[in-house]
Structure 1
Amino acid sequence: MTHPTEPLIFDGHNDVLLKLMHAGGRPALKGFHEGREGHIDLPKAATGGFGGGFFAIYVPSPWDGNDKAMMQPEYDLPLPEAIPHEAALPVVMTMAALLMQLEAEGALKVCRSVADIRAAMAAGKMAAVMHIEGAEGIDADLYALDVLYAAGLRSLGPVWSRPTIFGHGVPFRYPSTGDIGPGLTEVGKRLVKRCDELGIMLDMSHLNEKGFWDVAELSNKPLVCTHSNAYALCPHARNLTDEQLKAIGESRGMVGLNFAAAFLREDGQMRAEVPLATMLAHLDHMIEKAGEDHVGLGSDFDGAVVPEAIGTIAGLPALRAAMAEHGYSDALIRKLCHENWLRMLELTWGG
């Protein structure tokens, strides 16, 4: 049987940079090295076999009580107002600087290629892809995009649910489809084209359904939703229809299983009482619709309430064990843990 900390997990989404910023910025990085309250740090990574993943840069909105609201039988949370570029950019720079400081301190490696990821994981170093969740920090002329790419940006989501100059997202609404409103703006379409040119992976996790299909039409790269689940099992606006999952597979793209309880549970509630069997049911469904080469993990660690059976990255061995007990082969478990992500990134980044 596969050792519980192997294969290493390369994860599609985490929000640890936001947590570190809120905890005080650079002084809080000591906790990443030695252990901190929260989901991700180096000691927990060693326990859980966490090899790295996409480290999100996210500009927060005033947002009070959303988890409590998402414990109701039905809910429709109002989206925060758009954040102007001049307010967002300093926050983006702060979180990017924290990621670079972690690299300078030897905690992780900021990876700009799949070769970088493979080398870091082989050396026992956490592999980090700089990702932006919601492109408020990028101007309409896309000058900031080019600068951020030079700094290491390799993945971008045009929106985090609230609107941007680039497009429209999905609200936190249950029950609801993601077929809500218009998709990409004309500036958003230029953003897609420029990301394709640079080799920046586009993440559609928070885009509404129209935006998803806009990207599918415009982009010549694999379609990716880093942290989304199956609408057929949880009818939440954040989840993907079977048609979307099929399109992801046909494009040789990826969908990462989101551990956020509200997007796993059939009742859409943000409660940690989620059996591992529910996570496996979403994996089964996404594998059936997208194909086993196009599904991975996209936890949303440090950004959501996750199943109590896992808790933090130290609990990832429980998920590996559940996969094996469920009948997944060692080869399939390796694909789900990291091989599928790396294969897709080779297609998107060109190596």
Structure 2
Amino acid sequence: MATMTEENPVLMRLKVLATEKDTVWMGFMDIVPVIGTVKEAVELVLAVYEGNEAVIKEKEKAVENIVKESLKIHEKENYEKKLTLAEKPAPAAAAEEFSGLRNVRVVRKEMIIEYMVKGSKRGTKPQTQAQQKERQKKVEAIREDMLRKIRILKSNFNEELKEELGRSKRGEHVFNNDILKFHFKVLTDFIQICHIDNLRGYNQQAMNELGRHTLTQSSATDIQTNMVVHFGEDEFYVNANGVMYGEYCRALRAAILALLGHINPEDVTQEERQSVNFIIDNMNNFKIYVDQLAEVTWIGNNATRRARFEQVRKEVVTMYNTDRGVGWCIRILNQVAPLFGHRQ
């Protein structure tokens, strides 16, 4: 690739013009990575390698246009805007099904090495029938585990699962990102349903404090950005966590809103308290908010990562069970109940 770049003045000019970004574009010539800040340039290299004349002509023209536009622009913002308009995918008909062009993707700079390792393992051969059967067995095993956990709440629940062939650009989070805002959303729903924000004496700041998650900032950052796995195209992945977490969140939201609906904390029944606790206990015991495939891949054999995962999980368990459990609901009612004697 170095020789190709040296012989092509257009690509050399692109290298000079490239702006600083948090991400790059990556593709693979079999197992050799091709990295660049301009998607069209990466696709051009892959097209030349594969001898795809139709794509070569198209990408050469696109790259030339990018350079011409860039030479006219002096401000960084305008340059980036023009570059974005020029970055259009090649027509499907121009790239054959096995082409590396199909797998050109945007990658954050800090993930380059991880994605290179995964990409170097990517094969172009289709799966054998035996491999397909083995992967389907894995899907069924995960589905059975998912059904067992969800049917604790919904005995008649039934949903199919399939292997995820597409890959999310943001990656798969070890802890479901929604746990950072779940309680805030439920509290907001309660306020809107009961029109509490229209009552005299309503304190938005106090409600915001009650709705905020109770994790440390370092744990919240890990959940959002650090504990993330980018599965390769040929790696097995099934999004069972999305289904399980969604069902448990719906059940917990309904149970919390039923409890809060009394307004008067003294009217909350023991059955309603137990209902909330039952759902939370199962969420914590089964790690419903954890993507188990992402967990295993992210931790690997790294003892430091294992310890960090356990520390974050401990904080999440405490948040659901103690800081944002039944006691939290009662604190909300203690704030809200007095307001209903002072309607505007």
TM-score category of the 2 structures, normalised to the smaller one = under 0.3
Choose between structure 1 and 2: higher strand proportion: 1
Choose between structure 1 and 2: higher helix proportion: 2
TM-score scaled to structure 1, two decimals? Answer: 0.21
TM-score scaled to structure 2, two decimals? Answer: 0.21
